[in-house]
Amino acid sequence: MHAGTRKEFSQFQHKTTAGKKIKTGLRHYLAISTKKKKIVKLVVALIATGTYLIPVLWMYISSFKTERDVYSLPPTLIPNPVTFDPIVQTLSSGGIRYFFNSMVIGSFSTFLTLILAAFTGFALARLKKRWVSMIVLVFLIAQMLPTVLRVTPLFIVFNNLRLINTYAAVILANASLTIPFSVILLRTTFLATPQEIEEASLIDGCSHIKSFFLISVPMGKPGLAVAGAMSFVWSFGDFIFSLSFLNKPSMHPATVGLYNFIGAEATSWNNVMAFAGLTALPLILLFLIFQKQIIQGLSTGSFR
């Protein structure tokens, strides 16, 4: 081998070795960087989770404390002594009735929302007209309207229809709040479902209604789960509509009942925490039971 050729080969080998070292170092750096990103994400997730869970945990801990223990300094994490008196007093002072009213309002509002929003969202997903986008825009605007702006016109309408002091007034008012959101959500859900299966069912002899209930609704279950869960949470936790349209204390939901538990001069915070804990329990159970469907609905086309 000539001297010049040997020199060029040596330079090429050196460059190749240097290139390999650079690639190895780069891979090592990216691996460390990926680990750091995962650690940062984990820390952020833990902080966010703690921000939400710590108040809830403290609420349930305070539900089993005596009134003296609630005001103790420094605060105690474990109740000493453990007492069930706040829960018993909450249930005996109308808590069961408040809870029943909330369940009635939340359940019927959710049912009405799902029926109307499913049909409307499916129609808007399948119609290929220019004015469909305008209708979607109207629902978006309706969704953005604050609840306070709806109270006065709805009160006038319900008063003329003699619906004040009825569950129907609160149910319809909550539905006017949840239907726009659910229509937009379910429209995107039905847009993500394959239309060919529906067309095949029509060819096989299914009517449009039968195809909707047997084909479209089962494929849109994740979106329906999200719409139903959010509608129930909003309706169950309604305060303004219930306070405005229901003058009878026996018809007040849990949110208004919780407001009544807070006195003007003195407040028994362990009773308030027990009432709040019992009110939040069905919502927590709802998300625990249907978490798989809700997560699937949030991640597979519902908000695309």
Asked if residue 174 lies in contact with residue 253, where contact means CB atoms within 8 angstroms, the answer is no
Contacts 24+ apart (CB under 8 A), 263-269: 268/67, 268/86, 269/62, 269/67, 269/70, 269/71
Residue 73 belongs to some domain of the structure = no
Question: Rounded to an integer, what distance in angstroms lies between the CA atom of residue 157 and that of residue 161?
Answer: 6
Amino acid at 203: I
Whether residue 116 is found in the same domain as residue 41: no
User: Which ranges of 167-239 does DSSP label H, i.e. alpha helix?
Assistant: 167-192, 195-203, 208-211, 217-219, 221-236
Asked if residue 234 lies in contact with residue 178, where contact means CB atoms within 8 angstroms, the answer is yes
pLDDT of residue 290: 78
pLDDT of residue 82: 80
Whether residue 43 is found in the same domain as residue 139: no
Whether residue 122 is found in the same domain as residue 213: yes
Scanning the structure block, which residue is given the tokens 């000493």?
80
Whether residue 18 is found in the same domain as residue 98: no
pLDDT of residue 25: 57
pLDDT of residue 161: 92
Please report, in tens digits, the pLDDT of each residue of the chain (304 residues total): 444 554 444 544 444 555 555 556 556 655 556 777 777 778 888 888 888 888 888 888 888 888 788 777 787 788 878 888 888 888 877 778 888 999 999 999 999 999 999 999 888 888 887 888 888 888 888 878 888 888 989 999 999 999 999 999 999 999 998 999 899 888 888 888 888 888 888 887 778 888 888 888 888 888 888 899 889 989 998 889 998 999 888 888 988 888 877 764 456 778 888 888 888 888 888 888 877 777 777 665 544 4
Whether residue 102 is found in the same domain as residue 58: no
Whether residue 149 is found in the same domain as residue 222: yes
Whether residue 100 is found in the same domain as residue 18: no
pLDDT of residue 92: 79
Whether residue 260 is found in the same domain as residue 136: yes
How many folded domains does the chain comprise? 2
Residue 167 belongs to some domain of the structure = yes
Asked if residue 126 lies in contact with residue 194, where contact means CB atoms within 8 angstroms, the answer is no
Residue 15 belongs to some domain of the structure = yes
Please give the sequence-ordered ranges of beta strands (E in DSSP) within the chain, or none if there are none. Answer: none
Range of the domain at 43: 3-62
Whether residue 225 is found in the same domain as residue 108: yes
Whether residue 98 is found in the same domain as residue 38: no
pLDDT of residue 157: 92
pLDDT of residue 196: 82
* Distance (Å) of CA 280 to CA 79, 236, 263, 277, 283: 20, 10, 21, 5, 5
Return the CATH number at 101: 1.10.3720.10
pLDDT of residue 150: 87
CA 73 to chain centre: 36
Asked if residue 57 lies in contact with residue 237, where contact means CB atoms within 8 angstroms, the answer is no
pLDDT of residue 175: 92
pLDDT of residue 265: 45
CA 26 to chain centre: 42
Residue 143 belongs to some domain of the structure = yes
Residue 273 belongs to some domain of the structure = yes
pLDDT of residue 119: 92
Residue 81 belongs to some domain of the structure = no
Q: What is the dihedral of CA 52, 54, 57, 63, to 10 degrees?
A: -110
Q: How many other C-beta atoms can be found within 10 angstroms of the C-beta atom of residue 5?
A: 9
Residue 70 belongs to some domain of the structure = no
Residue 124 belongs to some domain of the structure = yes
Whether residue 131 is found in the same domain as residue 23: no
Whether residue 19 is found in the same domain as residue 161: no
Amino acid at 38: K
